[in-house]
Protein backbone atom coordinates (compact mmCIF):
# COMPACT_ATOMS: atom_id res chain seq x y z
CA UNK A 1 0.00 0.00 0.00
CA UNK A 2 1.26 3.46 -0.86
CA UNK A 3 2.17 5.41 2.31
CA UNK A 4 0.09 8.51 2.94
CA UNK A 5 2.00 11.79 2.56
CA UNK A 6 2.23 13.85 5.73
CA UNK A 7 0.30 17.09 6.15
CA UNK A 8 3.53 19.08 5.73
CA UNK A 9 4.34 17.28 2.50
CA UNK A 10 0.87 17.83 1.09
CA UNK A 11 0.99 21.56 1.94
CA UNK A 12 4.47 21.87 0.47
CA UNK A 13 3.52 19.96 -2.68
CA UNK A 14 0.50 22.23 -3.17
CA UNK A 15 2.69 25.31 -2.71
CA UNK A 16 5.00 24.10 -5.48
CA UNK A 17 2.22 25.03 -7.94
CA UNK A 18 3.19 28.65 -7.27
CA UNK A 19 6.47 28.11 -9.14
CA UNK A 20 6.67 28.91 -12.87
CA UNK A 21 5.49 25.82 -14.81
CA UNK A 22 8.83 25.09 -16.51
CA UNK A 23 10.76 25.08 -13.23
CA UNK A 24 8.05 23.07 -11.49
CA UNK A 25 8.03 20.39 -14.21
CA UNK A 26 11.78 20.03 -14.07
CA UNK A 27 12.48 20.07 -10.33
CA UNK A 28 9.30 19.55 -8.28
CA UNK A 29 9.85 15.81 -7.73
CA UNK A 30 13.40 16.39 -6.57
CA UNK A 31 12.36 19.29 -4.36
CA UNK A 32 9.67 17.17 -2.70
CA UNK A 33 12.13 14.33 -2.17
CA UNK A 34 14.67 16.62 -0.51
CA UNK A 35 11.92 18.22 1.58
CA UNK A 36 10.76 14.80 2.82
CA UNK A 37 14.27 13.65 3.65
CA UNK A 38 15.00 16.86 5.56
CA UNK A 39 11.64 16.67 7.38
CA UNK A 40 12.19 13.06 8.45
CA UNK A 41 15.64 13.87 9.73
CA UNK A 42 14.43 16.91 11.64
CA UNK A 43 11.55 14.94 13.15
CA UNK A 44 13.91 12.20 14.30
CA UNK A 45 16.44 14.65 15.77
CA UNK A 46 14.12 17.14 17.54
CA UNK A 47 10.41 16.36 17.22
CA UNK A 48 8.98 19.43 18.99
CA UNK A 49 10.32 22.92 18.35
CA UNK A 50 12.71 21.63 15.72
CA UNK A 51 9.80 20.80 13.42
CA UNK A 52 8.36 24.31 13.78
CA UNK A 53 11.73 25.87 13.02
CA UNK A 54 11.97 23.56 10.01
CA UNK A 55 8.52 24.64 8.78
CA UNK A 56 9.45 28.33 9.16
CA UNK A 57 12.71 27.79 7.31
CA UNK A 58 11.04 25.89 4.48
CA UNK A 59 8.31 28.53 4.13
CA UNK A 60 10.86 31.35 3.90
CA UNK A 61 12.95 29.37 1.42
CA UNK A 62 9.92 28.52 -0.71
CA UNK A 63 8.66 32.13 -0.76
CA UNK A 64 12.01 33.60 -1.78
CA UNK A 65 12.63 30.87 -4.37
CA UNK A 66 9.19 31.38 -5.95
CA UNK A 67 9.71 35.14 -6.24
CA UNK A 68 13.19 34.66 -7.73
CA UNK A 69 12.00 32.08 -10.25
CA UNK A 70 9.15 34.31 -11.43
CA UNK A 71 11.51 37.26 -11.79
CA UNK A 72 13.81 35.05 -13.86
CA UNK A 73 11.01 34.26 -16.32
CA UNK A 74 10.57 38.00 -16.98
CA UNK A 75 6.80 37.41 -16.76
CA UNK A 76 6.10 40.03 -14.03
CA UNK A 77 7.67 42.77 -16.19
CA UNK A 78 5.62 41.71 -19.21
CA UNK A 79 2.43 41.80 -17.12
CA UNK A 80 3.24 45.27 -15.78
CA UNK A 81 4.11 46.61 -19.23
CA UNK A 82 1.07 45.05 -20.89
CA UNK A 83 -1.16 46.74 -18.31
CA UNK A 84 0.68 50.06 -18.22
CA UNK A 85 1.04 50.52 -21.98
CA UNK A 86 -2.67 50.71 -22.94
CA UNK A 87 -3.47 52.69 -19.79
CA UNK A 88 -0.79 55.30 -20.54
CA UNK A 89 -1.84 55.57 -24.19
CA UNK A 90 -5.49 55.91 -23.24
CA UNK A 91 -4.82 58.52 -20.60
CA UNK A 92 -2.60 60.46 -23.05
CA UNK A 93 -5.35 60.41 -25.67
CA UNK A 94 -7.98 61.40 -23.15
CA UNK A 95 -5.84 64.29 -21.84
CA UNK A 96 -5.56 65.61 -25.42
CA UNK A 97 -9.28 65.21 -25.88
CA UNK A 98 -9.99 67.13 -22.72
CA UNK A 99 -8.66 70.32 -24.32
CA UNK A 100 -11.71 70.51 -26.53
CA UNK A 101 -14.82 71.31 -24.50
CA UNK A 102 -17.02 68.28 -24.11
CA UNK A 103 -20.53 69.11 -22.94
CA UNK A 104 -23.66 67.10 -23.29
CA UNK A 105 -26.26 69.78 -23.94
CA UNK A 106 -29.92 69.32 -23.30
CA UNK A 107 -30.47 68.96 -27.00
CA UNK A 108 -28.18 65.94 -27.28
CA UNK A 109 -30.03 63.10 -28.88
CA UNK A 110 -30.09 59.54 -27.56
CA UNK A 111 -28.19 58.48 -30.67
CA UNK A 112 -25.23 60.70 -29.69
CA UNK A 113 -25.16 59.24 -26.18
CA UNK A 114 -25.27 55.73 -27.60
CA UNK A 115 -22.36 56.54 -29.94
CA UNK A 116 -20.40 57.92 -26.99
CA UNK A 117 -21.09 54.79 -24.95
CA UNK A 118 -20.00 52.64 -27.89
CA UNK A 119 -16.73 54.58 -28.27
CA UNK A 120 -16.03 54.10 -24.56
CA UNK A 121 -16.82 50.38 -24.82
CA UNK A 122 -14.54 49.98 -27.86
CA UNK A 123 -11.77 51.74 -25.97
CA UNK A 124 -12.15 49.35 -23.03
CA UNK A 125 -12.15 46.36 -25.39
CA UNK A 126 -8.95 47.64 -27.03
CA UNK A 127 -7.27 47.95 -23.60
CA UNK A 128 -8.41 44.49 -22.53
CA UNK A 129 -7.40 42.96 -25.88
CA UNK A 130 -3.93 44.53 -25.69
CA UNK A 131 -3.39 43.09 -22.21
CA UNK A 132 -4.76 39.65 -23.08
CA UNK A 133 -2.93 39.35 -26.40
CA UNK A 134 0.39 40.47 -24.92
CA UNK A 135 0.09 37.90 -22.15
CA UNK A 136 -1.04 35.21 -24.61
CA UNK A 137 1.82 35.71 -27.04
CA UNK A 138 4.42 35.75 -24.27
CA UNK A 139 3.23 32.41 -22.82
CA UNK A 140 6.17 30.49 -24.36
CA UNK A 141 8.47 32.39 -22.00
CA UNK A 142 6.66 30.76 -19.10
CA UNK A 143 6.80 27.24 -20.43
CA UNK A 144 10.19 27.10 -22.11
CA UNK A 145 12.84 24.85 -20.65
CA UNK A 146 15.99 26.65 -19.74
CA UNK A 147 18.41 23.92 -20.75
Does residue 109 sit in helix, strand or coil?
Answer: coil
Q: Is residue 27 near another protein by the rule CB under 8 A? A: yes
* Shorter beta-carbon distance to another protein: residue 33 or 139: 33
| H or E element in which residue 30 lies | helix 21-45
Q: Is residue 51 near another protein by the rule CB under 8 A? A: no
Instruction: Please select the residue that binds another protein; options are 8, 26, 75, 127, rule is CB under 8 A.
Output: 26
Q: Nearest CA to 11 among 49, 39, 53, 44? A: 39
* Shorter beta-carbon distance to another protein: residue 60 or 81: 60
Q: Is residue 108 near another protein by the rule CB under 8 A? A: no
Does residue 58 contact residue 35 with C-beta atoms inside 8 Å?
yes
> Which residues contact another protein (rule: CB under 8 A)?
23, 26-27, 30-31, 33-35, 37-38, 57-58, 60-62, 64-66, 68-69, 146-147
Amino acid sequence: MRPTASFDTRCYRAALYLYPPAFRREFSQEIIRVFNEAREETQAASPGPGVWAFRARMTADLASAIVLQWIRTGWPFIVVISILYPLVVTSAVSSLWRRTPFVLSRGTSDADVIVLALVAAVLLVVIAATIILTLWFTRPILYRRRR
